[in-house]
Structure 1
Amino acid sequence: MADAKQANLSGAYYGPPIPPQNTYRSVGRSSGCNPCACLFCTLFKLIFSIVVILGIIVLVVWLVIRPYGLKAHAESAALTQFALSSSNTLDFNLTVDIAVRNRNKRIGIYYDYIESQAFYDGDRFGFELLPPFYQGHKTTSDIKPVFQGTQLMLGNSVSTTYNTEKGKGFYNVDVKVYTKLRLKIWIFKIHHVNPTIKCTLSLPVPSNTSSTSTVTLGTDCDVDY
């Protein structure tokens, strides 16, 4: 009897099939991506795409507009008085005509602020504010500062430079024009570009105190942004 039971226990099982054991996954571990890492990756891709698109737009606009910088040259100057006293006081009367060219086909320029200064031997002796104006596409405008008055010169070498240049027949004067510009592109106005125009002039010494020494220059001026 015991042998029969042992045979039944060690024999094959012929009953109904046993269902497989179910396996469960934790809901929080269903994805291999950390939520913070996924969010950062998505934001990075979005920002990168925006930067690329903006870069393409800027490149296309630049290729269409093709912006050019200003060109300037001093056309003429009239020096009526330029006399330095023994006390380093300079009496002066100088007019300069500077032509400024807007070379752009699609960009207009608003000259909102124009400040002109005149220098001799590194010392400023003249100052004038000029009225604002608008410059259209592919046009040339004249800036005509007039420097007149008396100024005490503080440089140690002004007297030596003045006497040397007077003997040579020419005074070397620097004229600078400080500007604040707005660019008009179609209907858009861009704030603010601040170029400085610098012209180095070689002016003939007037023959006497009552005469005006007028000279046609055609001197190119530097434009620094």
Structure 2
Amino acid sequence: MASNAKPSGGLNGAYYGPSIPPTRTHRSVGGRSSACCCDPCGCLLCSLFKLIFSIIITLGIIVLILWLVFRPNELKVAVEDAKLTSFDLSNSSNLNYNLSLSISIRNPNRRISIYYDQIEAVALYDGSRFGYDGSLPVFFQGHKNTTVISPRFGGQAVSLGAVSGTYEREKKEGNFYVDVKLNARIRLKVKFVKVGHFKPKFDCKLKLPVPPAKGGSPATVFERTECDVDWI
């Protein structure tokens, strides 16, 4: 005989089990996710960049402090006197010359001294080099000191180049325009510390009176000329 009994509890045949707990999302400690931990190379580059940036900032602050303490001033260079006793162009390209200069170098700094380990002079005319003096003595220059050097150029420059047109024109005008460059290698002395090496260049653009004939005097007189100083 079939049983007509119904399930107890009044659930009408449906069964409801315990509720399913919600799925949790795992987060890193502190509630933040670190993408860097997933990319070790990225973390290394980021740390390296921060280190380099910190070093640059620190060096900049040190340089600024040193500049404020010592207040370095630019060297003052000038050609005080120049004597051009011979400047003759023959065969359109061979130049016979005799030029002597008196150049002052002024160190205006109160706390910085300078060692001149090497200094040489080069003379150019119309862009062509014709003279060189590498025999200038080395020297030490103290605070607020002026030192005078005397480059000399003499001899013959062979195959100087196409300068005859410039030469004839300037000779008629009464002045030759010569460019003298000084190349130096120096060290700085701050208190008891030596800092170097630096290679400044001094560029002196000269207007030289045409040498007079024998027994005569030049039509014009040389004027003191300041030189440009380039530390690059």
Q: TM-score, normalised by structure 1?
A: 0.75
More contact order relative to length (CA 8 Å, sep ≥ 6): 1
Aligned to 2:13: none
Q: Quick check: 1:78–1:212 contact (8 Å CA) kept in 2? A: no
1:125 aligns with 2:130: yes
1:98 aligns with 2:135: no
Any idea what the Cα deviations from partners look like across 1:116-138, whole Å, max 9, x if unmatched? 01111111111001111111111
Q: Quick check: 2:129–2:160 contact (8 Å CA) kept in 1? A: no
Q: Which amino acid aligns with 2:123?
A: A
Aligned to 2:74: 69
- After TM superposition, list the pairs within 5 Å mapping 1:27-46 onto structure 2: none
For 2:100 and 2:216, the matched residues in 1 are separated by 14
Any idea what the Cα deviations from partners look like across 1:109-156, whole Å, max 9, x if unmatched? 111111101111111111001111111111111121000111114322
Matched residue SS, 2:211: coil
Any idea what the Cα deviations from partners look like across 1:142-178, whole Å, max 9, x if unmatched? 121000111114322x111111111111111111101
Considering fraction of residues, name the structure with more strand: 1
Q: Alignment RMSD, CA only? A: 2.8
The alpha carbon displacement at 1:60 in A equals: 1.6
Structure 2: runs of 5 or more not aligned:
1-27
Matched residue SS, 2:81: strand
Structure 1: runs of 5 or more not aligned:
1-28
Aligned to 1:208: 213
Q: Quick check: 2:208–2:222 contact (8 Å CA) kept in 1? A: no
Aligned to 1:179: 184
% of aligned pairs identical? 50
Of 138, 147, 171, the residue aligned with 1:166 is: 171
Of 144, 154, 157, the residue aligned with 1:148 is: 154
For 2:79 and 2:137, the matched residues in 1 are separated by 19
Q: Quick check: 1:102–1:136 contact (8 Å CA) kept in 2? A: yes
Matched residue SS, 1:154: coil
Q: Quick check: 1:79–1:212 contact (8 Å CA) kept in 2? A: no
Q: Quick check: 1:197–1:223 contact (8 Å CA) kept in 2? A: yes
The alpha carbon displacement at 1:46 in A equals: 6.8
Aligned to 1:222: 228
> Kindly tell me: are residues 187 and 83 of structure 1, through their superposed partners in 2, closer, same or farther at Cα, counting changes over 3 Å?
same
For 1:172 and 1:39, the matched residues in 2 are separated by 60
Q: Which amino acid aligns with 1:125?
A: F
> Kindly tell me: are residues 120 and 55 of structure 1, through their superposed partners in 2, closer, same or farther at Cα, counting changes over 3 Å?
closer
Matched residue SS, 1:59: helix
Q: Which amino acid aligns with 1:168?
A: E
Q: Which amino acid aligns with 2:172?
A: G
Q: Quick check: 1:78–1:215 contact (8 Å CA) kept in 2? A: no
Any idea what the Cα deviations from partners look like across 1:24-68, whole Å, max 9, x if unmatched? xxxxx989886x799998887776666544443332221001112
Q: Quick check: 2:209–2:222 contact (8 Å CA) kept in 1? A: no
Q: TM-score, normalised by structure 2?
A: 0.73
Of 184, 190, 193, the residue aligned with 2:195 is: 190
